[in-house]
Amino acid sequence: MKYAVTSRGDEVSNSLCDKIKKYLNEFGLTYDKDQPDIVITVGGDGTLLHAFHHYKHCLETTAFVGIHTGHLGFYADWKPEEVEKLVIHISKTPYQIVEYPLLEVIVRHYDDESPERFLALNECTVKTLEGSLVCNVEIKGDTFETFRGDGLCISTPSGSTAYNKALGGAILHPSLASIQISEMASINNRVYRTVGSPLVLPQHHTCLLKPLNDVDMRITIDHLSLVHKQVKTIQCRVAEEKIRFARFRPFPFWKRVKESFVGE
Ligand code: NAD
């Protein structure tokens, strides 16, 4: 089996990575940073987000597992002191794969025929560089509302505990192939009206954002942030691709939610 290890880059995470490499090599696994069967991330959720984007070309064959060297993460749920146990699991036992849905984002520009396609593990956010975001929101081909406010967040179920949660969105179990649209400070008065509640769309229901003012847009995909000019539409839906997590022990999603937000 081929493996790769990625680190957040701090001293603790780096030395844990070295330890993991040493153990896995001793167990006869092959280090392959280009086409690994399993990617072990050491750091936090951000490290796993980075690894996901690095390995998005081989999602079908690669599984991820995360170790946290800071606080308990949603994707990084193994503790540093469990490394020996994890390494033995990886080398000796066939592991279960759990798949989580991803978000597909397609950005089309007025001045360019070729659309840009992105995959997000957590979410896509749409804001403007200056002033309010004004855009038509279409759902499944029908106009739903005109949004005016700070921006919109479209998240995956596993991303629902991240930015989406801070916006008052619901926490969704990742077995629900869906996306959630949540508002950032929408303007609601006699002139502008939005639904005001987060919306959850099932697979195959597309959400299309059509900016109405010609301003530069800041579109984020997880930790990545890009400025787009002349944006015609931003199309969001559940992606065909999925992320695969290697599971070695049960750690139910709701237990992670409880431990992260309610307390142990
Ligand atoms: P970061 O270092 O600012 O970390 C943000 C925090 O989000 C970390 O504590 C991380 O553990 C947590 N996090 C990441 N994914 C999560 C998930 N799926 N569920 C629960 N918590 C999660 O930034 P980063 O590490 O580069 O991560 C980027 C993410 O930060 C974005 O995808 C976005 O979700 C999140 N973010 C949140 C807010 C907010 O809550 N107001 C604002 C901006 C970005």
Looking at residue 72, its pLDDT comes to 87
Residues 126 and 70 in one domain: no
In this prediction the pTM is 0.97
Tokens of 13: 């995470």
CATH number of the structural domain spanning residue 165: 2.60.200.30
* Ligand 1 site, residue 223, Cβ cutoff 6 A: yes
CA distance 4 to 27: 14
* Ligand 1 site, residue 123, Cβ cutoff 6 A: yes
Looking at residue 188, its pLDDT comes to 95
Catalytic annotation on 111?
no
Residue 207's closest CA among 126, 139, 150, 113?
139
CA distance 200 to 101: 14
Residues 107 and 231 in one domain: yes
Kindly report the protein residue whose alpha carbon is nearest to atom 18 of ligand 1.
159
Residues 123 and 215 in one domain: yes
* Ligand 1 site, residue 70, Cβ cutoff 6 A: no
Residues 82 and 138 in one domain: no
Residues 223 and 252 in one domain: no
Residues 22 and 75 in one domain: yes
Kindly report the protein residue whose alpha carbon is nearest to atom 27 of ligand 1.
46
Spell out the residues 6+ positions from residue 148 whose beta carbon is closer than 8 angstroms to its own.
132, 133, 134, 186, 187, 192, 194
Cross-strand partners of 117: 106
* Ligand 1 site, residue 224, Cβ cutoff 6 A: no
Report how many domains make up the chain.
2
* Ligand 1 site, residue 153, Cβ cutoff 6 A: no
Looking at residue 213, its pLDDT comes to 87
Whether 122 contacts 162, CB under 8 Å: yes
Residues 199 and 221 in one domain: yes
Task: Catalytic residue, from 34, 37, 45, 142: name it.
Answer: 45
CA distances to 132, 257, 259 from 262, rounded to whole Å, are: 34, 7, 6
Residues 78 and 126 in one domain: no
Residues 127 and 201 in one domain: yes
Residues 32 and 71 in one domain: yes
How far apart are the CA of 90 and the centre of ligand 1, in A? 27
How far apart are the CA of 111 and the centre of ligand 1, in A? 33
Tokens of 212: 């109405």
Kindly report the protein residue whose alpha carbon is nearest to atom 13 of ligand 1.
162
Residues 125 and 233 in one domain: yes
CATH number of the structural domain spanning residue 83: 3.40.50.10330
CA distance 75 to 55: 15
pLDDT tens digit at each of 264 positions of the chain:
999 999 999 999 999 999 999 999 999 999 999 999 999 999 999 999 999 999 999 999 999 999 999 988 999 999 999 999 999 999 988 889 999 999 999 999 998 779 999 999 999 999 999 999 999 999 999 999 999 999 999 999 999 999 999 999 999 999 999 999 999 999 999 889 999 999 999 999 999 999 998 899 999 999 999 999 999 999 999 999 999 999 999 889 999 999 999 987
Q: Which domain holds residue 41?
A: 2-95+248-262
Residues 117 and 230 in one domain: yes
